[in-house]
Structure 1
Amino acid sequence: MQIKRIKDLNELDRFRKLTNKYIHVLFPMDYLAKSRVFGCYDSWQRLCGGFVLVMKGPFRVLESIPSHIEKHQDLDLDKACEVTGLWFSPAAKDRSKSIVFWLRLYLEIIKTQKKFLVYAFSMSKPQIGKMYEPAKPVRLFEGQTNILPGMEDYDNEVVEFIKRKDLLFFPLKSPDFLFKRVKHNLGHKIRRARLYFKKQYA
């Protein structure tokens, strides 16, 4: 699998339509055009996943918070970036691709040099929240969000931010995150090799 940045407008439009297919959000083109959009491509150069890093506000995840909720005073928006639009085609998923995907996302976030990372996840997927826990996220909001352009309906989401200094130590605080995926992938390859040789020499 290859992960590369998407700048071509036609390819950005294809990305947003596929994103809508998998996570039911049709991002406005101008929002993607001002952001860093990364697409995952399989060996046939088919777009099978991706993510978006928004380098400058206004950030959708923060705009989705109801206006009566107070903003967090420690969050400097001029020094923040937003990660959004994460998706992966179920047909292309396997452990090795997952490792590549998360490593690249982490490295691209670090490369932004931003001091804060803001993001949101659906309350129906608490496992995503557990993944971020070692980085000591600060919760901004939990509940029903506003409907933004491109959204089909209301959603119940958690909105959080992470400080860069905590994100830098994330791999040390959560080594199992990648280790389990590497171990599972290696074990799967060994089992396939054993099965192959068993058939060859049966």
Structure 2
Amino acid sequence: MDIIVLFGPPGSGKGTQAEILSKKFNLKHISTGDLFRYNIKNETSLGIQVKSYMDKGNLVPDELTTEMLKDELKRNSDQKGFILDGYPRTTSQAEALDFLLKELFETNVSLTLALYVEDEVLVQRILKRSIDSGRTDDADESIIRNRIKEYYDKTAIVSEYYKNQNKLREIAGEGTIEEITNSLSTEIEKVI
């Protein structure tokens, strides 16, 4: 089973690239944000817990996010593999993912692809996304900058975890969608 982790700050193009790559390589795309929205909308027990944290403006605890991912992996155990977008976000989530993959599928993360984009480009992309998609959470520049800072403070360290396992490839996330897809695809083809 192939497990690809797509990594990068908000606005780096993870979601766009995950959709394209999942179709190209016949892998199931799992977005943490989509999992949160699905579980909240359907008022699952996990969704109710997630909503209680989000309503207070708090981060969802790692254990709860991991439990939600575990449910999704189990529901899709017949897949050839997965592209994970938005998980892991912390080293403890990366460790939990290793445990989950061993427990459920007797496998490991195959490759982690980190998209790197200049901060000002990220801000402009997210502001544009707020106009194009109507996402109000993307319209406030100070909130955007805080999300990017939080990514660097808390999530970027996970790249070291995968770098130490020789599973991290850094990819320039600027250019056309096709150029970025080609760069990512070249790395995926080396492990699939």
Q: TM-score range by the shorter chain?
A: under 0.3
Q: Which has the higher contact order (CA 8 A, sep 6+)?
A: 2
**Which one has a bigger Cα radius of gyration?**
1
More strand by share: 1
So what's the TM-score if we normalise by structure 2?
A: 0.26
More helix by share: 2
So what's the TM-score if we normalise by structure 1?
A: 0.25
